[in-house]
Structure 1
Amino acid sequence: MNRIAVKVDTDVIPVTGIEELGKHLDELIADPSLLPIPKLFDDVELQLTDANILPLIPRLLPKITEILKQYQQDPAVLCSLAIKLLGPLSFTQILSLAPEEALIQALRSPAPSANILGMVVIEKAAKSPSDAAILGMMKNLVTNFLTQWLSAPQVEVGEKGTKVLGDVLDVDCDTRPPDDLSVNGMEIVVRKQPGQGLVWRRIFQDHDIYDLILSLCVSGQLGSQQQSLAQGRLLRVLPRLAALNFRAVTWTDFSDLNQRYSNINGNGGLLHFAALHMVDKGDMLVHLNLVDFFEAFLSIQRITPFSTYKMDTLTKLLKDATAQDNVLKASIFTLPERTIPEEAEDLGRFIREVLNSQ
């Protein structure tokens, strides 16, 4: 096999198979109907390290991007190598190599590997507030990301989307994070400085995108099974978002959308929609997701900064949620019993305070 040497400092790091892989990529560009040869990709990918990857990016990544634009076969091996090559690059560097349209195409692909690739790129925007702000200005990309996050049937795509959305909104949040915000040893807020808030405004103050989220979760357009998955994904991310910006998730200016999708008047935000109006409690799985949501939500809200608005909102929310739901009510009252001993007493006190109960 041909060998190419990449020199780093005084060490020569050999990468075998580059010439063969390059020729194969050219063949795939010329004929998208060809099947990839996995061994060629695997042999190179396994050799990639922080020391030798940078010189190979301009040699391989543009070809892979070109293939993915027109490829009709399973792109898993292409996407795996692309993700490895993208490792050292920033969000803006990737945009110079793969434009927004290419990322949207990856997100729209029926192949989960392509969806994950697109989400990995978006995840790069969580590395800095400035990169998150750039993402916030890319409405089409955000729209397609949210659509695939909620509508993809694959569990791995949903889980990746949930993490990416939380991480990006964390870094983009324009309030200063409280210190030591963690539950059961898990850090809730990872950023160290305020962001610019452009992704938050894109999602929570853009009528089209807010409409999209509500419609995918309740309109039935996804089918009952996928709609249940979409609802579960929204419920899983909301406790973290509520810890980051409680006001944003509990208030909306789009009362028309509340009327359309929840048949209610008022300005309750995405949290109220998901907690009170989204779930069919006859669907056991989604009802369990709702119970899990409230347990995570209350556990986190116990350690977020106090405000009268927060406590008033929580009190009304829990009273409304438990009024006709004895399963949820019992779960909330017994939650301290299922919490680590160091936090159980404070959590029980917090729940009693929220519910105005002795």
Structure 2
Amino acid sequence: MYTPIQKSILAPSHASLPHDAEVGALQVPHIKRCWARWMSTRQGLVAAGAQAEAHRTQIVLSALGVGLEQTMQYVMRQAPDFATFEDWIVRTAGVPDAITVERLQALVEGHPAPQAFVELHAHIDAMEPVLDADDLAHWETHGYVVVRQAVPAADSAAAAQVVWDAVRADPADAQSWYAHAPRNTMVQLFQHPAFEVNRRSLRIHKAFAQLWGTADLWRSTDRCGFNAPERPGYPYGGQGMHWDVSLYQPIPFATQGILYLTDTPPEQGALTLVPGFHRRVGDWLSQLPADAAPRQQDLQALGATPIGADAGDLVIWHQALPHGPSPNRGTRPRLVQYINLTPAHVPCHEHWV
């Protein structure tokens, strides 16, 4: 039997968080609550509802122009007070524009979106479809779709140059591709005007709107990637096939997306996924032995397929598909930008499997 002092050590202490609508100098709701959650975690405290609030945290931070991972790492490493945290947001992504703050306030308070966003969404609704009937049928069957020429060539090239500069590499000098390349393929760069141009693409917005059934979507602020070809002494170091969602059934509908910034044939480290697995993941899970760890299975053997595409093409996939980058056995690096658009409310299981 545990003694009282043992209980106090072993039992988690629960943190009390600010209300979602509580704001600081930026007048942005929710960020004080997510800052307090991370600070509580640093202190070993438990705050309920982390999974349930994860999506709201991501869309609020993205609307401010900061990435979820970079923000969480800053708070966990630096332990800033809240005023310093808000200052960091401004230093990193600039002062939030008034219309974005108004939209975030409307989200948290349950009010209608500002008129500017109502008009934007009406414009998206009125656009000609980006995905035709064959694209939508392919999505239903295979769980992914390639949006051809999602952004103009000049825009994908501009973003590609940002990535080249970030890893201090020269496209014409293969020896320069390796010294500063990330071994896990992920470049921790989130903010750049060239990235923002692609995120704001109306063609991309329309494609996501067709899949979600609404144009009232929020853009992600995510990072980019650089996957150099394998060579002796430089094996592939990226993540294997995985899911970014709980496998608790049923897995709710949600999207993920990757924009190719350079031509990417299948062998050049292309995004790899298991087509159609969103339709059979439940059956597959039910057939595993009771003590099997789903994420530790040979996911490549499920029918993993690399999805090649051209510069400026966007691949969107259902979050229930196992996916990941792949070893680059081509002759050029793979350069990408991660882009996603989602509604404000997406179902999320609190139980992680």
- TM bin, normalised by shorter chain, reads under 0.3
| Greater fraction of residues in strand | 2
Q: Rg: which structure is higher?
A: 1
TM-score of the pair, normalised by structure 1: 0.24
| Greater fraction of residues in helix | 1
